[in-house]
Structures are given as C-alpha cells and as structure tokens.
Structure 1
C-alpha cells in the first residue's frame, strides 16, 4: 500500500469503517468530508497523507479556528483524522499518529444571560393573578434574587429568624441578608427598600408554621417550619421549585425569554456595574472569591455600551446607513 495515493487511501479507510466497523451511512459521509479537508490541506503544502506531521495538524487547526470554525467542530474533525491515522498505523504506513496529542481550541465561555434594565424592572413589578399567599411569596423571592444578587441556593437556605443552626436569614432592621454561599463562606448582602416591603407582605401572610393554613406542623417538619420560603404544605422551598415558579411567572409577565434565578443574579451584577463601574464592589456583593469571575460582567457592560453607541452616535448611524447603501 506504500504507493497508494491520497484518494485511494481515503476510500479504503471509508470502506473499512463502513464494512468492518459498521458505522452509520451518515457518519461515514461526515468522515469523508473531514478526510477531504485533510487531503486539501496536505495538497497545499504539499505533503503526502502518510508523511503528515504533528506541526502540520496544529497549523491546520489554527487555520480552521481563525476561519471561524468552532472548537466543537474542530474537535469532531480531529476525531475523524485521529481514527484515520490509527488505521494507517495498523497498515504499517505511519510510525506514529500525528493527531494523537492535538486538541481543539477551547470554546469561549458563553456570556451569562442578563435582562435589560427595563425588562428586569418590569418583571420585578409584575403582579400575577395567583392567590395573595403565592403572589406575596414569589414577589419577595424575585426582589431578593434581583435586588440582592442572591444565588438560588442562598435564597432557599434563608430562615425566618437568625439562629446558631440557620444557614442564612434577613435582618429586617439592618436591611441585610446574611447568607451561606459557595465553599460554606458567609457574606452579607444589602436588601433594598422594595425588597424589605415585599418581605414584610410575605411574612404577614406566611403564618407561624409557614403553611398556607393554620394546620399544625409535624415534628419532622420542624426545620422546614423555620424556612423563610415554604411551599403550601410548610416544607422548605427547593431550588427546583423556585426555577419552576420563576419560569411560570416570566411567561405570565410576557417576557421574551423564560427567567431563571441565576439570570436575575446576572442582571443584578450587570446593572450594578453599568451604574457604578466599581468591579471590586460588585465582586464583594456577589461573593466571588476571585475577581476574574466577576470580570465576565465587564463584557456584558461593554455590550450595553456598544448598543448605546450604535443607537445614539451619529457616526455609528452613518456607518450603518452607508453599509446599507453599499449592499448589493
């Protein structure tokens, strides 16, 4: 097989995966496309497929990445190439696999989703047609998530009153939420006036046992009865329940996208940064151990500034108009 050309090598390999490995027809088609790309890269060097080296593969990965190919797409291509060279090794045509230690570029972390300021305020101000008990509870949860930037785990861990066993509580007099965050680290978050008012309404309706009725609480529910946010039966509300309630509330409020607890935390951070520009303060408010975790919100802030520029600056408008006129 030493004198076999690139096309013949690829065809023989595809026959192997089709017949002996019994791969699906669609998978074989994708392998064929990936190997055609490999052959095209090699022809431009030029270098025969069995003579491809590790530095060739790395160069081609860089070219694909700079051309806009995603990290996931490159990883799939490399997987196909790696299998091809493994097969060539079994045929005695290559001494080592040039793709073996090559990895695709890491995909950039997606930006956290945050609501626009107007959308966040609209959502926080929304009043559902649920009964007063449910509406008061859900409104208080939204205010704490958006107004104080709490994590959903911190929210459901809040107790009505402070104690030695409480994971967290709200000091109404000091307007502070004391929470147990990631890594069992405690922090204090400010609670705004609107959130305090929402909490007062909820506490008036919550009842001493946390249930919607005056029914006594069983001994096994003693811990749950101390929870600030409870379900109708008096048990501590779970994170999953909060997700479900916010999703339902956002649909009722006519939001463009379903709202989840972390989206409100992201919105809190983004809007604080837009208004103050104080990254260190936002870090403290969020309870981030590392400033680099908080810096992702500077990207959100730049998106906000870029949109404002596009909408308001005369040169931005002229540029868009010119582009439209130049378009075919």
Structure 2
C-alpha cells in the first residue's frame, strides 16, 4: 500500500512539474506536504485513495493543536486538495476528501503603530540641510497622515482646491480635508492646528515645485506624488529623525487611530474618522489600547514589579 501511495505521489508531482510547469520550489513544497499526507494515512492504516473527510479533519485538528498556524495549514490543505482533484480526474477516487475542509482562522495580526513619543519625534523633525520647499512638503505629508489618519491613496488624491475633477481637497478656512476613500466613499476629516500650520508653510513654498498643477503634493515640475514616492520619502524621513523602525504611511494611520482611542475611548468617533464601514475593523485598535495599558501596568504597578522580581 505504501509503495502504491509513493507511486501516486510521484506521478502527481511529475504532472505538476511537467504538465502544469510549476516552479521547482513549488513542486518541492508540494512534495513535503504530500509526504505529511502519506505519514498521516500510514498512521491511520489507510491508503491515500481511501482517505475520508473525517481523517482530514482529524489531521487538521492535530496540526493546529501542535501549534501550526492557520495560514500554514491552509497551504497544506491546498496542496492536498489539488492532489485529490487530480486523483478524481483520473478515476482513482470517487470524491475529494479535502474539498470542504478549511483551516482554522489565524488571529488577525495587530497593526503596527508608533508610540506617542516616536510619533511626536517624527512630526517635530526638521531637516535644516534639505531644500526648504521639499522639507515643508514632507512635513505637511507627515502631519496629514498622522494628524488626520488618511490612507496614502487618499493623501495622493488631494488637490489644493475643490473642483469637478478633484478626488479630494483641503479647506484650510474650515480646517477640513475632503477625501475619497475605499469604495469611492467620501468623508470629511478635521485638520488639526499643527497640520494646518504645516500645510500653510507648504502652500507658501509650493509654487516653487508645482507651478499651476492642481495636486496638493507634487514633485518638481508639478507632477503629483505617487504612493510609492511618499512611502520612500517617509521611510527616509523617519530614519533621519532617529526612529529605530522605518515608518510607512499606514503605520501613521494606525498611530492616529490608536492614540485618539487611547485619549478619548470613543470607538465610534475613530470609526468615522478612519472611514471604516464596519466597526469590527476599528475594534482592532482596542487591542492596541489594551497593550498600551498592559505595558503601563507592567512598568508602574508594584505588584507587577514584584512578580517580575520573583520570576
């Protein structure tokens, strides 16, 4: 039985290598996953062609209990599913025992947010050696990302003034930014005092770079900055500011949400400011807030210190 199973696996691997022309590394990963399948089947005393849905579910539970991640299990199941689909097309099995088996859900990873001190250090950084116009522009970019919680795509789409063609614009008199978010949904977010001051400094110098271009943030010649250019500028700026971790635009959005929630505790307000359609998306920041409280407890509470000293 084991010899027959090994022959089936080799035939399938030859099929994906030659027939489907998969990369060698992919074929090697398939081979590892099918070797695991052979081991499980041998331990259960069944051949690969006699594996049932209940077997697969039990093996998934065993992998999960052993600490394998939901994503890792999903990749293994994908390999097994393809193998049994091939067996079915060749008349070797009547049904696919993996077809309706799903991996356990992995915990949603927490977004990466800066601490308040690091966020302030980045926002207050000034590069005296840089071109004044570029320095003012990059400072305004940081203030809008961190001060308003904008997505980088929303920031890129901002124009100086409202127009029929504008995806978004800023209204300094009203201290508001009008943005086009996900799903083509418009929302209005407040512009804080620091962000407004940074925008005023940038707008005063902007004609040196942008001329008559409508885009709020441009490079030389008036071309609208791309999301990739903003990622690069922000990364460079965060390193020059002395931050240990390179910062990307969405990290500032996460920092905005986390810090507003820490200060206000108003989850609904944060949802509106971020433009989340579902409050469940916003609730991830309550976990960040709890982490902040737990860290404060560990650092300050006498009982926490006592516990660490005795460990």
1:285 aligns with 2:281: no
Which position in structure 1 is the counterpart of 2:21?
A: none
* Cα 1:48/1:183, change in 2 over 3 Å: closer
Which position in structure 2 is the counterpart of 1:186?
A: 186
Q: Provide the C-alpha distance between the structure 2 equivalents of 1:26 and 1:180, rounded to a whole number of angstroms.
A: 45
Which position in structure 2 is the counterpart of 1:35?
A: 37
Deviation of residue 192 (structure 1)? Answer: 1.3
Which position in structure 1 is the counterpart of 2:169?
A: 169
Q: Is the 8 A contact 2:12 2:86 kept in 1?
A: no
Which position in structure 2 is the counterpart of 1:239?
A: 227
1:196 aligns with 2:199: no
* Cα 1:32/1:96, change in 2 over 3 Å: closer
Question: Which piece of structure 1 moves more, 28-37 or 229-238?
Answer: 28-37
Deviation of residue 187 (structure 1)? Answer: 1.8
Q: C-alpha deviations, 1:126-166, integer Å up to 9, x for none?
A: 11231111001100111011011112222222222334443
Q: Is the 8 A contact 1:17 1:28 kept in 2?
A: no
Determine which of 13, 17, 22 is the counterpart of 2:8: 13
Matches within 5 A, 1:317-328: 317-323=305-311
Matches within 5 A, 1:275-314: 275-314=263-302
Q: Which segments of 5 or more consecutive residues in structure 2 lack a partner in the other structure?
A: 19-23
Determine which of 200, 209, 212 is the counterpart of 1:211: 209
Q: Provide the C-alpha distance between the structure 2 equivalents of 1:184 and 1:20, rounded to a whole number of angstroms.
A: 44
User: Computing the radius of gyration over CA atoms, which structure comes out larger, 1 or 2?
Assistant: 1
Matches within 5 A, 1:61-80: 61-80=60-79
* Cα 1:229/1:21, change in 2 over 3 Å: closer
Q: Provide the C-alpha distance between the structure 1 equivalents of 2:15 and 2:133, rounded to a whole number of angstroms.
A: 65
Deviation of residue 189 (structure 1)? Answer: 1.2
Q: Provide the C-alpha distance between the structure 1 equivalents of 2:309 and 2:140, rounded to a whole number of angstroms.
A: 46
Q: Is the 8 A contact 1:10 1:32 kept in 2?
A: no
Structure 1 length normalisation: TM-score? Answer: 0.80
Question: Which piece of structure 1 moves more, 310-319 or 125-134?
Answer: 310-319
Deviation of residue 19 (structure 1)? Answer: 6.5
Q: Provide the C-alpha distance between the structure 2 equivalents of 1:201 and 1:27, rounded to a whole number of angstroms.
A: 55
Q: Is the 8 A contact 2:175 2:190 kept in 1?
A: yes
Q: C-alpha deviations, 1:197-228, integer Å up to 9, x for none?
A: 11111122112xx627xxxx6xxxx6xx1222
Q: Which segments of 5 or more consecutive residues in structure 1 lack a partner in the other structure?
A: 324-328
